[in-house]
């Protein structure tokens, strides 16, 4: 049974660094890659001076860089709000208004809109290196892990908050009921629940 999602992922990275974490049409990245890149994202986010626990919007597609930025956010103590880059551009503004996010990560190029005063982070600004993170900052317990916004077809989109404990409960149920191996399957499922258009 897993007790901490983030620490479990890092444990796999340290014990089995060559284990595949991401595979898209034969393009693969390992858990070692994931730890190194997510640590770099977390370090960069920690330099921004965001309010504690402030969520971070992430605009992009289902890429390795997107997953690494998800994990980087929660390692820095911030929930992430995934927004599929095929969504209506105005959706960014609506979600920012509701969530009061102070930053957006632009994995894909942002559409031509006027953003409110907020920090924009792009992958090429995140330098790779060997970073030491404070595990006490990691999202845990009842802290929000990620926030999924509804489509808003019947009004203003609403954010559904998924805590670390919620995600942990889902992962452990899934592994038990479906006899899955002891590693977080959320990398291929939960954070990809962002078909929100």
C-alpha closest to that of 37 among 131, 122, 154, 162 = 131
Query: Which segments within 71-183 are labelled E, that is strand?
Result: 80-84, 103-106, 119-121, 144-149, 159-163
What does the pLDDT read at residue 181? 65
Which domains are present in the chain? 5-192 (3.40.50.12780)
What does the pLDDT read at residue 101? 97
Given a cut of 70, the residues of the chain with pLDDT beneath it are 180-197
What does the pLDDT read at residue 194? 29
What does the pLDDT read at residue 180? 67
C-alpha closest to that of 138 among 10, 2, 14, 37 = 10
Check: CB of residue 91 under 8 Å from CB of residue 159: no
What does the pLDDT read at residue 72? 98
Alpha helices in the chain (DSSP H): 5-15, 31-46, 64-75, 90-99, 164-177
What does the pLDDT read at residue 152? 73
Q: Which two tokens stand for residue 22?
A: 């991401």
């Amino acid at each position: 049974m897993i007790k901490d999602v983030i620490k479990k992922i890092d444990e796999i990275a340290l014990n089995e660094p060559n284990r595949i974490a991401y595979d898209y049409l034969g393009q693969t990245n390992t858990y070692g890659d994931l730890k190194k890149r997510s640590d770099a994202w977390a370090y960069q986010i920690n330099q921004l001076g965001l309010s504690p626990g402030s969520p971070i919007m992430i605009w992009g597609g289902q890429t390795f860089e997107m997953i690494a930025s998800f994990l980087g956010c929660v390692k820095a103590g911030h929930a992430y709000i995934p927004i599929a880059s095929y969504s209506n551009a105005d959706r960014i503004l609506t979600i920012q208004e509701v969530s009061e996010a102070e930053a957006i990560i632009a994995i894909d190029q942002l559409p031509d809109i006027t953003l409110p005063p907020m920090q924009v982070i792009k992958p090429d600004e995140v330098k790779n290196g060997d970073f030491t993170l404070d595990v006490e900052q990691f999202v845990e317990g009842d802290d929000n892990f990620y926030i999924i916004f509804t489509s808003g077809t019947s009004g203003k989109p609403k954010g559904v908050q998924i805590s670390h404990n919620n995600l942990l409960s889902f992962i452990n149920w899934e592994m038990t009921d479906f006899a899955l191996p002891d590693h977080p399957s959320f990398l291929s499922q939960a954070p990809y629940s962002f078909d929100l258009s």
